[in-house]
């Protein structure tokens, strides 16, 4: 079959299959380039060279860096363990003799776990990543690992999209102690806001997370879990950080069905002696 006919048939196939929003011919000429250091999404992907154009049709490194940056926050939410692998196989396909696409099962697994997070931010799973565009598992592609077990979820609970609790004044220290008794955990955090590569607001933890009441949160995973809650519920956090100054809060919440939910938010400042007193007395307090 001549090259011209093959190109024609491919164009016709793209027209018929509307799901392939980015009809990319994996047979076109590509080049191998180093995965750019500025592309934080794929720094730990396990290889150093990628193909360009990539599987999303991006032709320049600047375009790849800019477009991939918008997905960094989603990866950091921990919505699925293979979300990074899935996205990097598209944005920065490994430089081999042929393109290795993600399998359809991997796309479905990542989509089903991460779509609720996107929905919480007012977004939907993009048509360009329609799982129908990817090969079935019996073809040569990146397969999905098994789903997380229920035991894993109990050990490592995840934040979910939730309604925004109001920032409250704590009142008397006895009231704070009662609130702590009614919940599972309490942490003191410092929030900062900055602009990322794609010029979107990003909310992060500054310094260490001070644990007031550990509850079901493990010491080695508390910071990660709280950062994930900030990313999943960025709409709530936006109301808490209205300027670029660092702000301190006490987040009080529960772990229900392996899901982390924040129920109370207290603004922390040095003049609030009642909140400081409650935090100090909590270690000896009996509910």
Identify the DSSP state of 239: H
Are both 166 and 67 inside the same structural domain? Answer: no
Task: Look up the CATH number of the domain holding residue 247.
Answer: 2.40.50
Are both 107 and 178 inside the same structural domain? Answer: no
| pLDDT value of residue 131 | 96
Strands 158-159 and 259-267, by their bridges, are parallel
| pLDDT value of residue 108 | 95
Are both 168 and 203 inside the same structural domain? Answer: yes
pLDDT digits (tens, 9 = 90+) for 120-167: 989 999 998 999 999 998 778 998 765 555 555 556 788 999 998 988
pLDDT digits (tens, 9 = 90+) for 168-209: 888 899 999 999 999 999 999 999 877 665 556 677 888 889
Are both 120 and 197 inside the same structural domain? Answer: no
188: tokens are 């003191």
| pLDDT value of residue 16 | 28
More confident site: 2 or 76? 76
Are both 26 and 78 inside the same structural domain? Answer: yes
Band (53; pLDDT cuts 50, 70, 90): very high
Are both 124 and 211 inside the same structural domain? Answer: no
Are the C-beta atoms of 168 and 124 separated by less than 8 Å?
Answer: no
Are both 175 and 129 inside the same structural domain? Answer: no
Query: What pTM was estimated for this model as a whole?
Result: 0.78
- Altogether, the residues listed in the chain come to a count of 287
pLDDT digits (tens, 9 = 90+) for 54-81: 999 999 999 999 999 989 989 999 999 8
Are both 274 and 177 inside the same structural domain? Answer: yes
Task: Look up the CATH number of the domain holding residue 75.
Answer: 1.10.2000.10
* CB-count burial class (<10 Å; 0-12, 13-18, 19+) for 48: exposed
Are both 214 and 99 inside the same structural domain? Answer: no
Q: Dmax over Cα atoms in the chain, in whole Å? A: 82
Q: Which of 133, 165, 199 is the last residue of a domain?
A: 133
The rounded mean pLDDT for the chain is 83
More confident site: 204 or 40? 40
Residue 266 domain flag: yes
Nearest to 268 by CA among 231, 228, 240, 236: 240
Residue 139 domain flag: no
Phi and psi (nearest 5°) for 158? Answer: -115, 145
Are both 24 and 114 inside the same structural domain? Answer: yes
| pLDDT value of residue 11 | 37
Are both 175 and 117 inside the same structural domain? Answer: no
116: tokens are 């609720």
More confident site: 198 or 243? 243
Mean pLDDT of 39-45: 90
Asked if residue 3 has pLDDT above 80, the reply is no
Residue 61 domain flag: yes
Residue 146 domain flag: no
287's enclosing H/E stretch is none
Mean pLDDT of 68-95: 93
179: tokens are 């609130």
| pLDDT value of residue 13 | 32
Are the C-beta atoms of 88 and 246 separated by less than 8 Å?
Answer: no
Structural domain range at position 204: 155-284
Asked if residue 23 has pLDDT above 80, the reply is no
**Helix, strand, coil fractions of the chain, as percent rounded to 5:** 40, 20, 45
């Amino acid at each position: 079959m001549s090259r011209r006919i093959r190109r024609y048939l491919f164009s016709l196939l793209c027209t018929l299959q509307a799901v392939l929003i980015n009809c990319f011919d994996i047979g076109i000429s590509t080049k191998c380039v180093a995965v750019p250091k500025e592309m934080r999404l794929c720094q730990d992907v396990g290889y150093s060279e990628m193909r360009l154009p990539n599987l999303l049709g991006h032709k320049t490194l600047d375009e790849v860096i800019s477009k991939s940056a918008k997905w960094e926050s989603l990866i950091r939410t921990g919505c699925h363990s293979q979300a990074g692998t899935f996205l990097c196989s598209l944005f920065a396909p490994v430089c081999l003799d042929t393109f290795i696409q993600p399998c359809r099962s991997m796309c479905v697994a990542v989509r089903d776990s991460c779509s609720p997070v996107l929905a919480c931010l007012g977004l939907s799973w993009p048509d360009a990543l329609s799982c129908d565009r990817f090969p079935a598992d019996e073809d040569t592609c990146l397969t999905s690992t098994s789903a997380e077990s229920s035991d894993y979820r109990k050990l490592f609970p995840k934040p979910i999209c939730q309604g925004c609790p109001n920032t409250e004044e704590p009142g008397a220290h006895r009231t704070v102690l009662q609130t702590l008794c009614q919940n599972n955990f309490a942490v003191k955090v410092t929030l900062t806001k900055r602009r990322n590569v794609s010029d979107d607001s990003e909310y992060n933890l500054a310094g260490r997370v001070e644990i007031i009441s550990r509850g079901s949160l493990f010491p080695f995973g508390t910071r990660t879990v709280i950062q994930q809650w900030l990313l999943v519920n960025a709409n709530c956090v936006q109301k808490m950080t209205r300027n670029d100054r660092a702000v301190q809060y006490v987040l009080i919440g529960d772990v229900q069905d392996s899901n982390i939910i924040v129920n109370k938010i207290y603004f922390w400042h040095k003049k609030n002696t009642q909140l400081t007193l409650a935090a100090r007395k909590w270690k000896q307090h009996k509910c």
